[in-house]
Structure 1
Amino acid sequence: MNFLRLLTISFVILLILGCAEKKPEILKEFYAEDVHDFIKKMQNYQSIESSLAIDYESKGNLLSGDALLKINKNETLLRIYYIGFPAGEVYQKDEEVSSTLPIEKDKVKQILTGVRKGFMWWVGDFEINEKDNNFILKEKNSDREVMLNKKGFIPVSQSFTFENQQILITYDNFKEFQTEDKTSLVMPSRIIVYYKNRTLTINIEKLKLING
């Protein structure tokens, strides 16, 4: 009898706990005193994980699919899915590149460089200047420039040369994403990377910024 009573009480407690209203997760808003403070705090985020949809157009041919992206300090992985099934991946560690997609190796390196810099635009040693309603982040010892809107420090565009190839990146469709340390941060949900005769459009569905 005591066992049945104990079992009944345990069941009721579990039922109450299961039905209890979950408290909403409290997020901190990202705060920076000025653009220098903003860049310094952003550079604490050295890795990202993202799920996204991509369209890659080259010479009239279109490659589309869902994708998983992981970036850390010296690695980039982009895994493509088509109708839920793995279709291939491209991977870079330091200077070594591998791919199971039907794309030339030099193009793969350009794609991964565009993706990596497109997402991790805040990584670099910058000189900061102002122009109209924007800040211009000029990376020292290179031609790379990142344009930030003064309102909210949101990225507008980025340009740089990679292996004699001019690359332009634009940003739009801004929304709030959550960082690993429970901070709410406004980021672009669409990134478009323009190469010569090629375009990579990235629509971000989920994005996680990771410290260190």
Structure 2
Amino acid sequence: MNFLRLFAVSLFIFLIYGCAEKRVEVIKEFYAEDVQDFIRKMQNYQGIEGSLVIDYESKGKQLNGDAFLKINKDETLLRVYYMGFPVGEVYQKDEEVSSNLLIENDRAKQILTGIRKGFMWWIGEFEIKEEGEKFILKEKSDERTVFLDKNGFMPLSQSFVFENQKILIIYDDFKKIQADDRTSLLMPSKIVVYYKDRTLKISIEKLKLLNG
């Protein structure tokens, strides 16, 4: 008798919750009135998490594989995998960098700086100018310039100087991603970072923007 009562109660609960109306997840489109409004709203996102495919070339040597990337206000982590197995990582907190990949620490710092600024291109205090079909964002306290397409305010390229070395970043293949505030917006899915004699190619498989 106890078993029958337990079964009846379980069946009742299943029917109640199984037939309950499922909530529809509401996704809102990112909207900005102008480029200043766009930058202001983007700066609410102070971090990212993503799954990547990377290809790093330096003087004939290559490092490639899948990677996990996490960036927040003062930390950057790039963990590299090959055939599903972790092969090493590069980590930066404030100005300190540690790495167990087969690259020198100064190179690791340059790589993470290029990745951090490449992904979080909207972080900074900018002077904004127009040139043809582009907006030009000049960093007030750094030798950094970001070029945006006027159509959608998407990044086309950026350049800056880090430790007396110029770094160029190119963006391509824009796709919609979802932020953790359920906002949908376009972001580049391919990023190429050019150093003096090195190239880092990044294909983004998954990306999530994180509020500050």
Alignment TM-score, normalising by the size of structure 2: 0.94
Unaligned runs of 5+ in 2: none
Q: Distance in 2 between matches of 1:101 and 1:169?
A: 23
Query: 1:124-180 CA deviation, whole Å, 9 max, x = no partner?
Result: 000000011110000013220000101111010000010011100011111011101
Q: Distance in 2 between matches of 1:206 and 1:16?
A: 36
Match of 1:71 in 2: 71
Offset at residue 25 of structure 1 (A): 2.3
Distance 1:58 1:21, change over 3 A: farther
Offset at residue 211 of structure 1 (A): 0.9
Matches within 5 A, 1:124-163: 124-163=124-163
Structure 1 moving runs of 4+ over 4 Å: 15-24
Match of 1:123 in 2: 123
2:185 maps to amino acid: L
Q: Distance in 2 between matches of 1:122 and 1:61?
A: 32
Match of 2:82 in 1: 82
1:205 maps to amino acid: E
1:80 maps to amino acid: V
Q: Distance in 1 between matches of 2:43 and 2:68?
A: 22
2:90 maps to amino acid: V
Distance 1:205 1:6, change over 3 A: same
SS of 2:49 mapped into structure 1: strand
Match of 1:188 in 2: 188
Q: Distance in 2 between matches of 1:21 and 1:197?
A: 58
Q: Distance in 1 between matches of 2:113 and 2:132?
A: 29
Query: 1:106-140 CA deviation, whole Å, 9 max, x = no partner?
Result: 11110000000000000000000001111000001
Unaligned runs of 5+ in 1: none
Q: Distance in 2 between matches of 1:15 and 1:197?
A: 64
Q: Distance in 1 between matches of 2:19 and 2:169?
A: 48
RMSD, aligned α-carbons: 1.7
Alignment TM-score, normalising by the size of structure 1: 0.94
Offset at residue 59 of structure 1 (A): 1.0
Q: Distance in 1 between matches of 2:20 and 2:206?
A: 28
Match of 1:114 in 2: 114
Q: Distance in 2 between matches of 1:165 and 1:108?
A: 14
Q: Percent identity?
A: 71
Q: Distance in 2 between matches of 1:24 and 1:77?
A: 34
Offset at residue 61 of structure 1 (A): 1.4
Query: 1:18-55 CA deviation, whole Å, 9 max, x = no partner?
Result: 58785542201001110000000000111111111100
- Counting matched residue pairs gives 212
Q: Distance in 2 between matches of 1:173 and 1:100?
A: 31
2:123 maps to amino acid: V
1:34 aligns with 2:34: yes
2:106 maps to amino acid: D
Query: 1:70-119 CA deviation, whole Å, 9 max, x = no partner?
Result: 11111100000111111000011111110000001111110000000000
Distance 1:207 1:143, change over 3 A: same
1:130 maps to amino acid: E
SS of 2:174 mapped into structure 1: strand
